[in-house]
Amino acid sequence: MDKTEKGTPAASKKPAQVSSGQTVPALSVVPVSSALTVSGQGAHARNPGTALKPEWFDAIEVNLSATERRAATLGGRRTVKKEYQAAWLVKAVQCIDLTTLAGDDTPGRVHRLALKARRPIREDIVAALGLADTPPTVGAVCVYPTMVGPAVKALAGSGIPVASVATGFPAGLTPLPQRLAEIRYAVDQGAGEIDIVINRAQVLTQDWNGLYDEIRAMREACGEAHLKAILATGDLKTLRNVYKASMVAMMAGSDFIKTSTGKEDVNATLPVSLTMLRALRDYGEFTGEAVGFKPAGGLRTAKDALAWLALMKEELGRPWLEPNLFRIGASSMLADIERQLEHFVTGRYSALTHHALA
- Which residues are identified as catalytic? 195, 258, 294
| 259 within 8 A of 296, measured Cβ to Cβ | yes
Whole-Å CA distances, 247 to 56, 195, 202, 299: 8, 17, 14, 24
Residue 113 makes contact with ligand G3H by CB under 6 A: no
Closest approach, Cβ 198 to ligand G3H, in A, equals 14
99 touches ligand G3H (CB under 6 A): yes
Residue closer to ligand G3H (CB basis): 142 or 154: 142
Decide: is 234 part of the binding site for ligand G3H (CB under 6 A). no
- Shortest Cβ 338–ligand G3H spacing (Å): 16
Stretch that binds ligand G3H, among 51-59, 70-78, 238-246, 296-304 (CB under 6 A): 296-304
Q: Interface with ligand G3H includes 149 (CB under 6 A)?
A: no
Among 262, 271, 295, 323, binds ligand G3H (CB under 6 A): 262
Site for ligand G3H in 18-77 (CB under 6 A): none
Residue 101 binds ligand G3H (CB under 6 A): yes
In the complex with ligand G3H, the residue whose CB is nearer, 38 or 222, is 222
| 129 and 93 Cβ atoms separated by less than 8 Å | no
Phi, psi of 323 (to 5 degrees): -65, -15
Q: CA–CA separation, 95 vs 199, rounded Å?
A: 27
How many angstroms separate the Cα of 23 from the Cα of each of 79, 163, 172, 340? Answer: 18, 33, 46, 16
307-328 as b/e, with b when 16 or more CB fall inside 10 Å?
A: bbbbbbbbbbbbbbbbbbbbbb
Cβ burial, residue 29 (10 Å; 0-12/13-18/19+): middle
Q: In terms of CB distance, is 331 or 340 closer to ligand G3H?
A: 331
Q: At residue 39, what are phi and psi to the nearest 5 degrees?
A: -90, 160
Number of residues that bind ligand G3H (CB under 6 A): 13
- In the range 315-334, which residues lie near ligand G3H by CB under 6 A? 329-332
Task: Give the CB-nearest residue to ligand G3H.
Answer: 262
Which of the ranges 26-34, 105-113, 237-245, 290-298 carries the binding residues for ligand G3H, by CB under 6 A?
A: 290-298
For residue 258, the minimal CB distance to ligand G3H (Å) is 7
Q: In terms of Cα–Cα distance, which of 180, 169, 124 is closest to 142?
A: 169
Cis peptide before 25 (omega within 30 of 0): no
Q: Does 261 help bind ligand G3H (rule: CB under 6 A)?
A: yes
Please report whether residue 273 would count as binding ligand G3H according to CB under 6 A.
no
Contact set with ligand G3H (CB under 6 A):
99, 101, 142, 261-262, 296-299, 329-332
